[in-house]
Copies of this chain bind each other. A is one copy, B any other.
């Protein structure tokens, strides 16, 4: 029983792995179910035994990836008490996660957007979850008097977008070689903007 479950989980996982690879290589629409089945050394029917449709497979991928990323970031934030340090930790974790999982980055930042209307909701949820995480940080920092009052939601989305675009550049042009190299500069930008006012390290 346990063995069967394990094998089943294995098969399912193999399918998800292959799906991630094929979806990110060809894009949602150009990814053929046949190709995913072949890549996972399964049959088409086997795939459809585990996932009811192509859409559901992609959604499962999206869910897994979103959840994993969120969990990692949340856990990284949990180990910091200071609000701004928590934001810092989030940034580091995101860069680390994407930097070490190129496919996951591609999935969430590129393919999910163009996969069709059906996935918009999911993506919005992810954006909202991330933005909420950051917005909470910022609100706490405001309460703690670390930063002046501001539109935390907007700032959170702006942060998120700034990071995303840097990841996107890395994905598409390969610059810089190590995504995590961007951490210091990004941190400074998010905290102090381009003027760098108050950034003691940069002075």
Residues of A within 8 A of B (CB): 26-30, 110-111, 113-117, 120, 123-124, 127, 138, 141, 146-148, 150-151, 153-155, 157-166, 168-169, 172-173, 175, 182, 185-186, 188-199, 202-203
B-chain residues with CB within 8 Å of residue A30 when the two chains form the complex: 116-117
Which of B116, B153, B161, B173 touches A161 (beta carbons < 8 Å)? B161
Number of copies: 4
A194, B155: Cβ atoms closer than 8 Å: yes
In the bound complex, how far is the Cα of B160 from the Cα of A202, in angstroms? 22
Known: A159-B162, A195-B197. 7 other contacts (CB 8 A): A30-B117, A120-B172, A124-B173, A161-B165, A161-B168, A190-B194, A193-B193
A191, B189: Cβ atoms closer than 8 Å: no
B165, A186: Cβ atoms closer than 8 Å: no
B114, A110: Cβ atoms closer than 8 Å: yes
In the bound complex, how far is the Cα of B165 from the Cα of A196, in angstroms? 22
In the bound complex, how far is the Cα of B173 from the Cα of A124, in angstroms? 8
B111, A114: Cβ atoms closer than 8 Å: yes
Closest A-B pairs by Cβ, 6 of them? A114-B114, A161-B165, A197-B198, A197-B197, A193-B193, A158-B162
Q: Which residue of B lies closest to A196 (CB)?
A: B148
A27, B116: Cβ atoms closer than 8 Å: yes
B-chain residues with CB within 8 Å of residue A147 when the two chains form the complex: 194-196
In the bound complex, how far is the Cα of B189 from the Cα of A180, in angstroms? 22
Most buried by B among A115, A150, A161, A198: A161
